[in-house]
Amino acid sequence: MEKELIEVDGRSGGQCLRTALALSSVTKKPCLVFNIRANRPKKGLAQQHLTGLNTLAKISDSKVKGNVLGAERIVFYPKSIKEGNYGVNIGTAGSITLLLQTLTLPLIFSPKKPSFRIFGGTDVPFSPSFNYSKEVFYQFISFLGAKFSFNLKKRGYYPKGKGLISFSKISSKLPLKPFYKVEQDKLNFIKIFAHSTGYPKEASENLSSLTKKLLQEKFPLVDLDEETEFNESIDEKGAGITLIAKFKDGLRTGSSSLQEKNKPPKKVAVQAVEFLLNEINSLKPIDSHLADQIIPFMALAKGHSTFETSALTYHTLNNISVAEKFLDVKFEVKGKITEPAEISVEGIGFKGQSE
């Protein structure tokens, strides 16, 4: 007898689609995602979403209906993850870090360990930068029991997206551990990642210098570390800053800003520093961009989890809605949209489906 489809309204954006696909693969519950990105100027599956969907299907021999560019409705029938070495090419500057949100959960709950080389955008607008994902998100889920190898081979920027990363699971201890943190710990130090491709070497050095000066003014007693990266290129051009604040308890928060046309380097530095300052001054342990990403992990972990975040976002609320459709959980949210909030859930202690 065919399983009933879990129906997810994807009008709010790609996040609902990615989370639905990930949880469908983990739970082996088929899903229908409709109204995909209906609230966006360009509706339907973009290249990044389509590539994530097709990649998840390929590594698991899952059946898909509607996997074409621009589709506003897809049906996904999940199967088990396979071993293999996979090359994935988004084909645009679509975000690699967002694509990986489709793959990370399924890999955690599978005994298999496929490896990936993924081409696309590593540092592009409206998505986590490579360094933020590695230093904040993947660092966080390592506390829960899942460790990944996530390495940068080449930066990729908008509009060409010629970046390359390697990605694979190292280990996952199931069920995942719950997480409780409602206060921000002592700030240990801040690391500056300044990078440029296709600009003179001085571009990334200038970004780092400007950022360091601003940070010294805002955090005179905090140690600073710098990593400056310069890449020659005739067919790719981009630059940016990612800042990672590291706290005594091992948690991290971060911010990013990218060089754009008519955007001077000083503004790039100011944007990154101001966002980081706002997160640190909130005194909350989980930043607003990390909060939505960790929702399904909390639901699948064993036992009670509670965290406080600097700002409640619609992304977080949407991910809660999707998680509650797939799993027998009920989140408690204390706080108003765009304001600090406390989020709690009793996780189900999921250990994975039999292969």
90-134 pLDDT tens trace: 999 999 999 999 999 999 999 999 999 999 999 999 999 999 999
| Residues annotated as catalytic (active site), given as ranges | 315
Residue 322 CA: distances (Å) to CA of 18, 143, 145: 10, 23, 23
- 313 touches 291 (CB < 8 A): yes
CA distance 231 to 91: 21
For residue 3, the model assigns a pLDDT of: 78
For residue 1, the model assigns a pLDDT of: 41
Alpha carbon 29 to chain centroid, angstroms: 23
CA distance 196 to 207: 9
Selection from 157, 147, 153 nearest residue 121 by Cα: 157
- Res. 56: pLDDT tops 90: yes
Instruction: Give the percent of the chain with pLDDT over 90.
Output: 95
- Looking up tokens 């090359």 gives 87
Q: What is the largest CA-CA distance in the chain?
A: 65
CA distance 227 to 221: 20
Q: What is the mean pLDDT of residues 171-184?
A: 97
List of domains in the chain: 6-180+286-348 (3.65.10.20), 185-281 (3.30.360.20)
For residue 103, the model assigns a pLDDT of: 98
Selection from 39, 215, 340 nearest residue 17 by Cα: 39
CA distance 301 to 322: 16
Q: Are strands 163-172 and 115-120 parallel, antiparallel or unpaired?
A: antiparallel
Q: What is the mean pLDDT of residues 13-24?
A: 97
Task: Pick the range with the lowest mean pLDDT from 96-100, 232-236, 285-289.
Answer: 232-236
Residue 58 CA: distances (Å) to CA of 32, 100, 176, 252, 267: 18, 14, 26, 34, 42
Please give the single-letter amino acid code of residue 241. Answer: I
Higher local confidence (pLDDT), 286 or 353: 286
- Res. 353: pLDDT tops 70: no
276-285 pLDDT tens trace: 999 999 999 9
196-216 pLDDT tens trace: 999 999 999 999 999 999 999
Residue 119 CA: distances (Å) to CA of 100, 157, 167, 249: 12, 11, 11, 34
Selection from 197, 231, 192 nearest residue 212 by Cα: 192
- 336 touches 34 (CB < 8 A): no
Q: What is the mean pLDDT of residues 168-187?
A: 97
pLDDT category of residue 2 using cuts at 50, 70 and 90: low
Instruction: Tell me the HSE value of 186 on the side-chain side, using a 13 A CA sphere.
Output: 5
- How many Å from the N-terminal Cα to the C-terminal Cα in the chain? 19
For CA atoms 259, 263, 268, 271, the dihedral sign is negative
Higher local confidence (pLDDT), 351 or 2: 351
